[in-house]
Chains A and B, each alone.
Chain A
Amino acid sequence: MTSKPKVAFFDFAGCEGDQLEVINLEERLLDLVEVVEVVSFREAMSEHSDDYEIAFVEGSITTPHDVERLEEVRSNADTVIAIGSCAAFGGINSIRNEQDFETVKERTYGEDAAMFDDPDAELFDSFEHAQPAKAFVEVEYEVPGCPIDGEEFIQTVTAILQGGDPSLANHPVCVDCKLAENTCAFDRGEICLGPITRGGGCDATCVSQGTRCWGCRGLVDNPAEDAYSEVLQEYGVTTDELLNEFTLYWSWQREHGPQADMQEVEQ
């Protein structure tokens, strides 16, 4: 890697909240551009170059056009890093993966949903399921979260620049909750995904702000499912309630597992 590596940002289907979190680093962004050269960041700059070593991708992959772009990014970059839950494992976009696609289109477009069948309207060529980047190309690292945590982003970049390995923490959000001395959401009568959601990057922010963990950082590797079942039994949570929670961020991940490998390109 050269002394000042070139980095580029690419966004797919998403809200651009993760790129915004990068912009929200505020003056630290000026420090960042001291150590890396940003060659592409459509949300913030007009320049664009295909010469980069590190590519950050945001948003989930929902169209054949997305796949083409993603493959190009992959072939240009030495390292691809998925930022945000949409890019890392489908995220909130994958709620629709559990719904019938014809119904999905009709609910959103009414009778105009027929446009999706028009072979000339190629921009409407949408996959049935929203999928993460790793469903199509190899992704070296992930910074999950909806949105990502700016601090974790900086740590990841720093580790990579120093030749380290920015692997994710592998403990549940519950650990962060204990550190934050939160009252357990279950004790407050809520259903919380903290026991099986990957912690270590968000400081259990949602519970700390008075709500519950919705699972935005994805399933922790090897979740202690038995322990979780006990918790659920203890608090009398029904399967329906739980499934509802699981489909908020995990509709793709539930099927493919927390560390899913690249799959055959499906359309």
Chain B
Amino acid sequence: MSQDIDIEGDLVTRVEGHGEIVVNATDGQLEACEWHVVESPRFFESMVVDRDWDEIHHIVSRICGICSVTHTMTGLKAVEDAMGVELSEQDLKLRKLALAGETLQSHVLHLGYLALPDLVGEKSVVPMANTHEEEVRTVIRLHKLGNELIETVAGRSTHAQRTIPGGFSRLPREAELRDLRASLEGSWNDVETVVDLVLSLADELPDFTRETEFISLTDPDEYALYEGVPYSSDTGELDLADYREIVNEHVVEQSTAKFTKHDRDSYMVGALARFNNNYEQLGPMATAVADRFGLKPVCHNPYLNNVAQLVETAHLIERSIELIDSILESGLEAQSDYHKPDVDVTAGQGVGAIEAPRGILFHEYTLDETGTALEGNCVIPTNQNHANIQLDMERLVPTIIEQPEGEIEHTLEMLVRAYDPCISCSTHYLDVEFVDTPPER
């Protein structure tokens, strides 16, 4: 039954950015099993050098269109950290709200447009519009809700403008927040529809586990997304200032790739990592969704990242309603339409971390006394998940090696899509090759 397999690096579709899977076997003997990232280098860490403190967030938002709010705000947090700028309570809540919108938008996009077609056996969401019209329209409505959240708070859904160092250039109106609240309340039926659909297809998710370490932010007061400190499921709370030691970017001997590792050879970031680390802080609706799937921490099946995203989708809606209520309760404090926060420009070095939809994101900037960037460093979720995807593949492939080649490829593509590596944000270029090193069995 031993077969020759030659899966030769076609671009994985329905992920953001360019990635390739290479698996070769002769006569059932595995020769190569590699996960490649083939995105062109973009050099953002150089592009921010010599730019002003109030341009950095604008530039780095272009690292990724899908999580541009997160990149913008992580850049802002790092600059604000470098200059000791404090945000008002109101601005903090508004930033959390915009971030919730982006994560909602991104999760629904990922689940509905990228992962669902796999589960229903279609190649994209387009033919699903005929076979599952109601579901597709539901996914579209939820996706739009996330975008409306961002637009209302930050002014534009992709590369938003209003979030600037020290706060916001412009604020939403109370009436807009009330409308938004109504749309959020009105979305529970849609969430239910998607939960039902994914639940009916949950058997299609491969039953594969490999124990790993999970890293995310954690916060004593809430399910950490905007605020909090880094946390490892292996070693507990970590110090943000030491983020380089958390991610530990290093070169693997037989490869030109930069890997990250912390306590083990790899770790995972993203929705499943957050779910595992901060489960207790999820809202009641989110916990109910998890219960319906029987999802409990600690879950080591990477394919269930998609389910964790669904759980978070419910949490984000709950949390956004809470945030809006709390803003409206204290009354929205007005500011001018062209507001410019008072910022004392100083030299300094600052680090910021935020949970991007796909996992913890770090930015660091060093600024001179005029606020001009001397140095920048960004460590994005994909870099951190990279080694974990590779090790998952090495464990998974031998268990499915007797399956037809197309099946193997499909299962691996689904694995990659479960992580949804945001490869276009690969500010560091990665190229993995395990030449002449047969993977462990």
Contacts and interface: CB of A to CB of B under 8 A. Distances in A.
Interface in A27-78: 27, 29-30, 33, 38, 41-48, 62-63, 65-66
B126 A38 contact: yes
Contacts of B62: 15, 17, 91-92, 146
Contacts of A43: 13-16
Interface string A199-217: 0000001100111001000
Interface in A6-20: 11-20
B28 interface: no
B158 A147 contact: yes
A46 B14 contact: yes
Nearest to B63: A15
Given A47-B124, A112-B251, A244-B52, A15 B156 contact: no
A23 B140 CA distance: 9
A16 B340 CA distance: 30
Contact of A103 (B16, B46, B55, B425): B46
Interface in A205-239: 205-206, 209-211, 214
B169 A210 contact: yes
Nearest to B413: A46
Contacts of B137: 27
- Could you say which of B64, B337, B429 has the most chain A C-beta atoms within 10 Å of its C-beta? B429
Contact of A63 (B40, B109, B155, B337): B40
A263 B363 CA distance: 37
B428 A109 contact: yes
Nearest to A45: B124
Interface stretch (A121-129, A135-143, A168-176, A252-260): A121-129
Interface string B126-164: 100100000011001001100100000001111111101
A162 interface: no
Nearest to B425: A15
A24 B170 CA distance: 23
Contacts of B431: 121, 123-124
Contact of B156 (A12, A47, A108, A209): A209
A16 B429 contact: no
A24 B125 CA distance: 14
A118 to B, nearest CB: 8
Nearest to B123: A46
Contact of B162 (A42, A104, A210): A210
A267 B427 CA distance: 22
Interface in B40-63: 40-47, 49-52, 55, 58-59, 62-63
Interface string B401-439: 000000000000000000000001101110100000000
B359 interface: no
A27 B125 CA distance: 12
Interface residues of B, number: 70
Interface in A91-105: 91-93, 95-96, 99, 103-105
- Could you say which of A42, A103, A118, A188 has the most chain B C-beta atoms within 10 Å of its C-beta? A42
B169 to A, nearest CB: 3
A63 B140 CA distance: 35
B317 interface: no
Interface in B314-357: 337-340
A12 B40 contact: yes
Given A14-B424, A44-B14, A115-B256, A210 B46 contact: no
Given A93-B42, A209-B161, A15 B124 contact: no
Contacts of B425: 15
- Could you say which of A12, A15, A45, A206 has the most chain B C-beta atoms within 10 Å of its C-beta? A15
A169 B136 CA distance: 35
Contact of B47 (A96, A105, A183): A96
Nearest to B143: A26
A41 B14 CA distance: 8
B79 to A, nearest CB: 15
Contact of B147 (A24, A33, A45, A124): A24
Nearest to B146: A24
Contacts of B47: 92-93, 95-96, 99
A87 B429 CA distance: 21
A21 interface: yes
Contact of B140 (A26, A42, A210): A26
A27 B140 contact: yes
B300 interface: no
A172 to B, nearest CB: 19
B159 A146 contact: yes
A66 B18 CA distance: 12
B38 A104 contact: no
B124 A17 contact: no
A42 B13 contact: yes
A15 B68 contact: yes
A44 B113 contact: yes
A249 to B, nearest CB: 10
A46 B429 CA distance: 24
A38 B147 CA distance: 24
A211 B161 contact: yes
Contacts of A29: 140
A3 to B, nearest CB: 18
B338 A45 contact: no
Nearest to A103: B46
Contacts of A27: 137, 140, 144
A45 B129 CA distance: 13
27 contacts: A13-B39, A16-B17, A16-B64, A16-B66, A16-B424, A18-B65, A21-B158, A23-B143, A26-B140, A26-B144, A27-B140, A30-B140, A42-B11, A42-B14, A45-B124, A45-B126, A93-B42, A96-B43, A103-B46, A109-B428, A112-B258, A146-B159, A147-B158, A183-B338, A205-B156, A210-B337, A244-B51
Given A12-B40, A26-B140, 10 more contacts: A11-B424, A15-B424, A16-B17, A41-B124, A63-B40, A92-B47, A107-B375, A146-B62, A205-B161, A209-B162
Closest 9 A/B residue pairs (Cβ): A17-B65, A210-B169, A45-B124, A210-B170, A209-B161, A209-B155, A107-B46, A46-B123, A13-B40
